[in-house]
Amino acid sequence: MITSSDLVRQHIQEMPPYQPIYPLDVLSEELGLRADQLVKLDANENPYGPIPEVQAALADLDSIHIYPDPESRQIRRLLAKHHQVPEDSIVIGAGADELIDLIMRVVLDPGDTLLNCPPTFSMYAFDGALNQAQVVNIPRKSDFSLDIPALIEASQKYQPKALFLANPNNPDGGILSPGDFEKLIELPGLLVVDEAYIQFSRNDASYLSRVEQHPNLIVLQTFSKWAGLAGLRIGYGVFPRNLVPMLMKAKQPYNVSSAAEAAAVITMRNLQQAQTRIDRIIAQREYLFQELAALPNLHPYPSRANFILCQVKDGSASQIKDQLRKQGILIRYFNKPGLSDHIRFSIGTEAQNNQLLAALKGLNYENSAN
């Protein structure tokens, strides 16, 4: 007897199960708190949400019975102008996540190698597995910097199709240094630099302007974090121009909804307002860092993103996560090599950050009282 699961492709049967992510209403019911009482600091979302003009633009959408523009021309034009790159070097996706998968679907044959540098964003390994890549991990050092000699060696040994790097890296918030970039861009294969958080980095840590000079460089960015549009799903990549027609023919034709494009367009037209929110988040990051550094039990890492990773020096990181959760404060804990004694906080509003700090101080007090 063949059961329906026998029909499933072997590599999908073997993938680890889906890790559920809970929406606000589900969390609210589980914790017995109103959704607006939850302090959601677990997914690096923008605590201020989008600029108010986005709501108005969504309310005014008039052609939702018509399929969206498969080439997302309006937002590509605005992004091209803003970043000073050709329009035909840009591809829009339903989030940067879609583009990570799309790049892999376009370049990988089953068994091809990808290089990955954990601890990092989990989608590179996830999409690699989904696309039947051989994912070769070159772990970061204990300070989360890259192991460049090991990457160069692996590149020679495996001839990888691509290396995916987040800049700043998630979960630690460190940037890809210019020295490392110059060495890695010389390697064969694609270098995909995922800049989901670059707008929080200041001092222009982006490699986007380098794409035109390098036939193997891709830079991804997204409206999810800085623009507060995570729920609408829109991100973009700047690519070597000869790759763009390949990506365009392989993507789903209507991958970006009209609502997502309209929200991104209005955000690009009101950048100063969005920048005010970014500036507030950066100021709060610096404040939260100082306060966390003063807590005896935590070691925060300097971050150029909208989150701060902390090593828990004494006690259990997963217990801290559970205790904060009971108070409605959601933070990120990773049960992974190199991270099991770490927790990550997204930068919230001033009130949320103070609530987090008060809760952390309460935990420390309990520990020392015991």
Ligand X SMILES: *Cc1c(COP(=O)(O)O)cnc(C)c1O
The reply on whether position 75 binds ligand X by CB under 6 A is: no
CA 318 to chain centre: 22
Alpha-carbon distance 154 to 166, whole Å?
Answer: 19
The reply on whether position 196 binds ligand X by CB under 6 A is: yes
Alpha-carbon distance 360 to 365, whole Å?
Answer: 9
Q: Judged by CB under 6 A, which of 95, 160, 328, 348 binds ligand X?
A: 95
Looking at the Cβ atoms of 42 and 194, the one nearer to ligand X is 194
Q: What is the per-residue binding string for ligand X in 110-139, x denoting contact by CB under 6 A? A: -----------x------------------
* Strands annotated E in the chain: 39-40, 90-93, 113-116, 134-137, 162-166, 190-194, 217-222, 235-238, 298-300, 307-312, 329-330, 332-333, 342-346
Q: Judged by CB under 6 A, which of 79, 91, 96, 133 binds ligand X?
A: 96
Report which secondary-structure segment, H or E, holds 149. helix 148-158
Classified as helix, coil or strand, 168 is coil
Q: Report the DSSP beta bridge partners of residue 115.
A: 136, 163
The reply on whether position 90 binds ligand X by CB under 6 A is: no
Alpha-carbon distance 317 to 344, whole Å?
Answer: 10
Residue 55 corresponds to which tokens in the numbers above?
Answer: 């709501």
Restricted to residues 165-194, the positions that interact with ligand X (CB under 6 A) are: 166, 170, 194
Alpha-carbon distance 47 to 182, whole Å?
Answer: 35
Choose one: 49-57, 92-100, 339-347, 361-369; the region binding ligand X (CB under 6 A).
Answer: 92-100
Q: What is the per-residue binding string for ligand X in 215-234, x denoting contact by CB under 6 A? A: -------x-x-----x----
Compute how many residues bind ligand X; rule: CB under 6 A. 13
CB of 16 to ligand X, least distance (A): 19
CB of 204 to ligand X, least distance (A): 18
Looking at the Cβ atoms of 120 and 327, the one nearer to ligand X is 120
* CA-only gyration radius of the chain, Å: 21
Using CB positions, name the residue nearest to ligand X. 95
Which residues of this chain interact with ligand X, rule CB under 6 A? 44, 95-97, 121, 166, 170, 194, 196, 222, 224, 230, 235
